[in-house]
Structure 1
Amino acid sequence: MSQSNNIPLGIILMIATTFVFAVQDGLSRHLASEYNVLMVVMIRYWFFAAFVIAIARRKAGGIRAAAQTSQPLLQTVRGLLLAAEICVMVISFTILGLVESHAVFTCYPLLVAALSGPVLGESVGWRRWAAIGVGFIGVLIILQPGMKVFDPAAIIPLLAAAMFAIYGLLTRFVARKDSSATSFFWTGVTGSVAMTAAGIWFWQPMTGPDWIVMGCLCITGVTGHWLLIRCYEVAEASAVQPFAYLQLVFAGIIGVSVFGEDIETNVAIGAGLIVAAGLFTFWRERLQRRTG
């Protein structure tokens, strides 16, 4: 079945997705500052797993069809990697805040572009390598190594970006044999099992208001994933992906208005370079697909 390509609708859905995910990050920041990160992510994953199982049951063949794969090890590694990345990023929110964490994390598409050659055998020309270099100059501007006493905590969102980039590359790799429904199913289920095994030991009683916040976190997680699925169903990924950078804007607004964070000049300049470089790599990729 051919995919529709309603780009205006896809853009609207991507903007909605980035807003919902930014709200999710704000909720995660609040809960993780009060409770153990592993417990917070564990409960979030319970709802995520229930969501992917519900979707699988509605598809032809049900759960058995969704779970069927010839590469279970890679699918498991993907799920574990994403769960670990979420934990690292939530820790970053509590230490550095939403603004600086997202400013650094935004470099992950550049990491994907840089690693797609050696990992997937894709061609990366000099123009995209130049864009990757500009993006990492942006990262250095944000981190400011050597300008003052370097805070090792600034490496945390960079680690999360690297983990998410590898997760993205593995997702591309397994897509050569498995459907997106299968990958989505394995992501939710393996992550839920892993987080339960890790997080159940750190259970803490939560207050009534925080259970409401947790419920909102779970709802935003499910809603965000549903919007993202719909977005990629109605439009080409290359057309809507640049709008994913709006999550940085929304997260910045929440960080400043809700948590009283500041946007330092170096963070704004560095994030601008990263976004510009990322948009260029998306444009080059789309151009190559058209001429290829």
Structure 2
Amino acid sequence: MASDLTTTRHPVVTAIIWMSGALISFSVMAIAARELSAELSTFQILAFRSMIGLLIVSALLSRSGWQQLKTDHLGLHAMRNAVHFTGQFCWFYAIAFIPLAAVFAMEFTVPIWTALFAAILLGERITLPRVLAILIGLSGVLVMLRPGLAVIHPAALVALASAVAYGMTHTLTKKLSGRDTALTLLFYMMLMQLPLGLIPSLFSWTTPSQALWPWLVIVGVTGLTAHYCIVRAMAVADATIVVPMDFMRLPLIALVGFLLYGERLDLFLLLGAGLIIAGNLVNVFSEKRRSRS
């Protein structure tokens, strides 16, 4: 089914479909992380996420074949996962202290870092439409945040550090996506990041209450589905095309924050969301025209 999707649709449309799955997954994971942070440390949440994810990926590999784990790029996997774990730690930490929309807004500097890292490491072109899409999207974020009134909690800076780490992670994901399968990337991600979260969490371990287990499972599952969708999107489109689509996460999570946690939803959010959508449309349609010429 996945191969049919890739071959019968325009690559950009296919990337949009995969990124839609990633957006939904990240939003659900943010809700689960907020619920878990009331009892568990960030390291412990990440440890459970990796454990559950590793079990799921292993079950999938038992059906599709373990031979795909053979890779000549273990060093690149290790680098990707060290950077990604840092970004994940910062992301989960920030979610516990500041509004969901504020955390996601900080993440939308990711396209800037991704474009920079992709140009340096992958040799991707930074075309005018791609720059325009990023600038329009970021202007939407600025409208939502209204500079001068933004969250000033120190966790906001932690969220920004997460964005830098994610920019590098996206670039390394693109570099690996043409060499190893999506399941291979996910297996090494869970395997390598498990001790990074488990060992520190043992020093202040809290046994999860029964009510937390569904949220732990959700974190594990959505962590996998989000990254699987991103890997598939990166496999069919440039990183600087895929990542600006992630801007759609902000209006989505702002709505979730309003409905579930009473976080404010106002006219600036709607205006900013409109700019974000416009930026994505500029990016998508310009890329489709370029591929036809």
With the shorter chain as reference, the TM-score category is 0.7 to 0.9
CA drift at 1:46: 0.5
Structure 1 residues 142 and 198: alpha-carbon distance in aligned structure 2, compared to 1, 3 A threshold: farther
SS of match in other structure, 1:33: coil
Give CA-to-partner distance per residue, 1:122-174, whole Å, 9 cap, x none: 11123323433444444555555556895443333332222112111011122
Instruction: For 1:205 and 1:58, locate their aligned partners in 2 and report how far apart those are by CA, in whole Å.
Output: 32
Q: Distance in 2 between matches of 1:11 and 1:278?
A: 10
Structure 2 equivalent of residue 196 of structure 1: 198
Structure 1 vs Structure 2 CA RMSD: 3.6
* Identity over aligned pairs, percent: 23
Matched, 1:37 2:42: yes
Q: Distance in 2 between matches of 1:150 and 1:122?
A: 35
Q: For 1:178-224, what per-residue CA distance to the aligned partner results, in whole angstroms no more than 9, with x for missing partners? A: 33333232222212232223333331122221233323433444555
Report the counterpart of residue 7 of structure 2 in structure 1: 4
Q: TM-score, normalised by structure 1?
A: 0.78
Give 1:163's match in structure 2, choosing from 155, 165, 182.
165
2:32 maps to which of 13, 24, 27: 27
Q: Higher mean Cα deviation, 98-107 or 26-35?
A: 98-107
Evaluate the alpha carbon distance shift between residue 266 and residue 158 of structure 1 in structure 2; reply closer, same or farther with a 3 A threshold: farther
Cα distance in structure 1, aligned partners of 2:283 and 2:97 = 30
| Structure 1 unaligned blocks of 5 or more | none
Aligned partner letter, 1:209: A
Judge conservation of contact 2:16–2:233 (CA < 8 Å) in 1.
no
Whole-angstrom CA distance in 1 between matches of 2:150 and 2:219: 36
- Candidates 112, 116, 119, aligned match of 1:117: 119
Cα separation, 1, equivalents of 2:247 and 2:150: 29
**Native 8 Å contact 1:92 1:156 kept in 2:** yes
Which residue number in structure 2 is paired with residue 52 of structure 1?
A: 57
Residue in structure 1 matching 2:70, options 31, 54, 68:
68
Asked whether the equivalents of residues 103 and 271 of structure 1 are also in contact (C-alpha less than 8 Å), the reply is: no
Shift of 1:75: 0.7
- The residue type paired with residue 33 of structure 2 is S
Gaps of 5+ in 2: none
Q: 1:236 to 1:268 in 2, by over 3 A?
A: same
Instruction: Map 1:41-190; keep pairs closer than 5 Å.
Output: 41-60=46-65, 62=66, 65-141=67-143, 150-190=152-192
SS of the counterpart of 2:96?
Answer: helix
Q: Is the Cα–Cα contact under 8 Å of residues 43 and 200 in structure 2 kept in the other structure?
A: yes
8 Å CA contact 1:22–1:247 kept in 2: the answer is: yes
Q: Which residue of 2 aligns with 1:252?
A: 254
- 8 Å CA contact retained: 1:107, 1:139: no
Instruction: Please give the secondary structure, in 1, of the residue aligned with 2:38.
Output: helix
**For structure 1, which segment, 139-148 or 29-38, has the greater mean C-alpha deviation from structure 2 after superposition?**
139-148
Do the aligned partners of 2:18 and 2:233 also contact (CA within 8 Å) in 1? no
Whole-angstrom distance in 1 between the partners of 2:57 and 2:168: 22
Alignment of 1:266-277 (within 5 A): 269-270=271-272, 272-277=274-279
Secondary structure of 1:4's aligned partner = helix
SS at match of 1:96: coil
Cα contact 1:114–1:129 (8 A) shared by 2: no
Correspondence 1:209 to 2:185:
no
How big is the shift at 1:269?
Answer: 4.6
